[in-house]
Structure 1
């Protein structure tokens, strides 16, 4: 849509704005929920790292180490090195939120041990996505500068779509890890009923961030398709 004085408005920017808003809302929800339950102590008295060690041992996993990593909510499981890394806000805290997050990461370690297929697929996609996401815009921009070369642009869009596939595959991996965490916490007696319900709120808020990320990625891909996905222009 054109406006006076030569200004041009690209309506597809709305897709990016919507994606950014969705992501910010989900992130805000996650942070506020984590802060709320980080002030609630778990009756078991275990810290996040201690709970993780207990869960791993009860699952028969003895070759995964638990380490501290800097940052806030930077918790993750590294399947290549078999290391469960817990952030400063999780490692030494005995809160509901900390133990819930630690249990969630243990869920990934258990997935790895049992050969959970979506986790395997996601792991295989990581190097491809890392390369594809970096090169996608190179091909798209090169195609634009070379007179709207559709072959280059379309190849760039295909590379970008790999990141979208990665986001979508991530969803069942994260949902399953949370489900495993909640089941473990309840069955092992680390948490009681009310505490499990509170942990579910924390992990549900965390899951929203992955849903938001997938939605934003899909909207970004839709924008590229709308802008450049057509046939060659005259």
Structure 2
């Protein structure tokens, strides 16, 4: 049982480390958003107002802004060219909400300018969907069939695509935050003393993507260790 990685062997520590990192990152972003969500922007504009202003100034008047349910479920959909702001962002006039809205506008601008990492990430989506759905089942079937190395190797390579996708996501997210901070630093929506608050919110949000990449990479490493040992 230990050989197949189902027990609590040394490699299981990698999963625990990844889980701890992910939980901390999730707590950190929520902590910072709640902290700076208490600060109403001096200009009194909402997240939706800020998004509309940024998009219009970037020549993206065609992009529709929608309100979606949930907390921090904000996203830009390049497929239908819509900016979706969560309930905690859309109507809020907090510094945190404006920062999140500006970040999503950063993705819209990336789409407009054909930002290369964003294009690469989009191209990886079909393969990543296959990898996330088929990798573990293939590895399990390979193990059950007496350590079928071909199936296990294919499963591990498919799982590696998920790691690659998350690594490619990092420059996309950091770049969107950088664009947001640059726009908000102009003083048209936030005052100079509010910009550091936005930086803190967006930095903590970016760490969740770093944590996800590390956690998934540790899972991949565990699979390699477990089945590498069994092959030997």
Q: Residues 52, 151 of structure 1: CA spacing in aligned structure 2 closer, same or farther, 3 A cutoff?
A: same
Residue 65 (structure 2) aligns with:
66
SS in 2 for 1:84: strand
| Counterpart-to-counterpart distance in 1, 2:149 and 2:199 | 47
Shift of residue 9, structure 1, vs aligned partner: 3.4
CA contact (8 A) 1:154 1:229 kept: no
Structure 1 unmatched runs, 5+ = none
Which residues of 2 match residues 92-107 of structure 1 at below 5 A? 92-107=91-106
- Residue aligned with 1:66, SS: strand
Secondary structure, in 3 states, of the residue corresponding to 1:193?
Answer: coil
Which residue of the partner structure matches residue 128 of structure 2? 129
In the alignment, which residue of structure 2 is the partner of 1:167? 166
Closer/same/farther in 2, CA of residues 131 and 55 from structure 1, 3 Å limit: same
Deviation at 1:130, TM superposition (A): 1.1
Q: Which sits farther off after the overlay, 60-69 or 101-110? A: 60-69
Q: How many pairs were matched up? A: 229
Partner of 1:210: 209
Q: Tell me the TM-score normalised to structure 2 length.
A: 0.95
TM-score (norm 1): 0.94
* 1:32 paired residue number: 31
Tell me the C-alpha RMSD between the 2 structures. Answer: 1.6
Report matched runs for 1:38-117 at 5 Å. 38-117=37-116
Distance 1:158 1:188 in 2: 47
Rate the CA distance shift 1:40–1:8 in 2: closer, same or farther, 3 A. Answer: closer
Partner of 1:39: helix, strand, or coil? coil
Q: Could you tell me how far 1:232 is from its partner in structure 2?
A: 3.5
SS at match of 2:231: coil
Task: Structure 2 unaligned segments of length 5 or more: list them.
Answer: none
65-74 vs 7-16, greater mean Cα deviation: 7-16
SS in 2 for 1:9: coil
Please name the residue that 1:219 is paired with.
Answer: 218
Pair 1:147 & 2:154 matched: no
